[in-house]
Amino acid sequence: MSPGDDLDSLVSRVDPDRWLSARFVSDAALRTDLIGLYAFDYELARAPRTASNALVAEVRLTWWSEAADEVFAGKAPRNHPGVLGLSRLAERGLTRADVEPLVDARYRELDPTPMTEAEALAWARDTGGGCARLAVRLLDPTCDFDAAQAIGAAWSLSWRAAEQADLSDLAAREQRAARRLARRLSAKAFPAVAHAVLGARRKGEGDFARKARVTWAVAVGRI
C-alpha cells in the first residue's frame, strides 16, 4: 500500500467531510495532494485533543513544526504518512510560511480558557480557513483565496460553537457570509470548500444525508 493510500484511508475515517469533498476533484494527483494536506491538518488538530496534558501536546506540535521545517528545507521527510503528504505540498510550490499558521493556531487550544469571539475567529481563519486557502491554491491558483479562507473558517467555527455555545451567534454570522462568498469560487476550486455546507453534525443526521448535502453543494456551487 502506498503512502497516498494510507492517507486516504486515514482521512476517510477521521475527517469524512473533507474527504468527501475531495472526491469531487477529478485530477487524481491533485486529489492525493489535497488528502495529504488534510492529513497534516488532522495531525495538528489531534495533538492538543489527545495528549494527556498541555506539555505533551506542545511536544507533539513541536515535532510537527520541526518536520515541516525539514520538508521545506529540502531534507528527506520523516517516515510518517502525514509528513510524506506534506512533502508533496512542497513539491507543488507551497512554502513553510504557507503552513506555519496551521501549526501556530493549535497552540491556543492548549489553553483551557474559553475563546473570546475575536480569538475564535482568528483561530478559525488559521485552522480550517488556512487549510481551505491552501486547498484552493492547489485546485485553482487563479481563484479568490480570501473567500476560500473565510468559508473554511466558518466551517471550523461551526464545530467550535458546538463545544462552546456562546460562539453560536458568531458561527451563524460567518456561515451566512460564507454562503455569499461561495459564489466567488470557480467550479474547479469549489471542492476545497464544499464541506462547509455541513459543519457540526445535526441531531439524527446520518452519513447518507451528509453525503447528499455535499453532493448538492458541488452540483449547484452553493453552501
What does the pLDDT read at residue 4? 56
pLDDT of residue 100: 95
Give which of 150, 127, 116 is closest to 49, Cα–Cα: 127
What is the model's pLDDT at position 2? Answer: 53
Instruction: Write out the chain's pLDDT in tens, 223 residues.
Output: 455 568 899 999 999 999 999 999 999 999 999 999 999 999 999 999 888 899 999 999 999 999 999 999 999 888 888 898 889 899 999 999 999 999 999 999 999 999 999 999 999 999 999 999 999 999 999 999 999 999 999 999 999 999 999 999 999 999 999 999 999 999 999 999 999 998 777 777 888 888 999 999 999 999 8
Q: What is the pLDDT of residue 203?
A: 75
Q: 8 is written with which cell numbers?
A: 486516504
Q: Tell me the domain boundaries of the chain.
A: 3-220
What was the pLDDT predicted at 109? 94
Listed residue (9, 59, 1, 70) closest to 36, CA to CA: 9
Q: What secondary structure, in 3-state letters, does the chain show?
A: CCHHHHHHHHHHHHCHHHHHHHCCCCCHHHHHHHHHHHHHHHHHHHHHHHCCCHHHHHHHHHHHHHHHHHHHCCCCCCCCHHHHHHHHHHHCCCCHHHHHHHHHHHHHHHCCCCCCHHHHHHHHHHCHHHHHHHHHHHHCCCCCHHHHHHHHHHHHHHHHHHHCHHHHHHHHHHHHHHHHHHHHCCCCCHHHCHHHHCCCCCCCCCHHHHHHHHHHHHHHCCC
Please state, as a whole number, how many other Cβ atoms lie within 10 Å of the Cβ of residue 1: 7
Residue 155 grid coordinates: 466551517
Model pTM score = 0.92
* CATH classification for the domain delimited by 3-220, as one of 1.10.600.10, 3.50.50.60, 1.10.357.10, 1.25.40.10: 1.10.600.10
| pLDDT at 31 (0 to 100) | 96
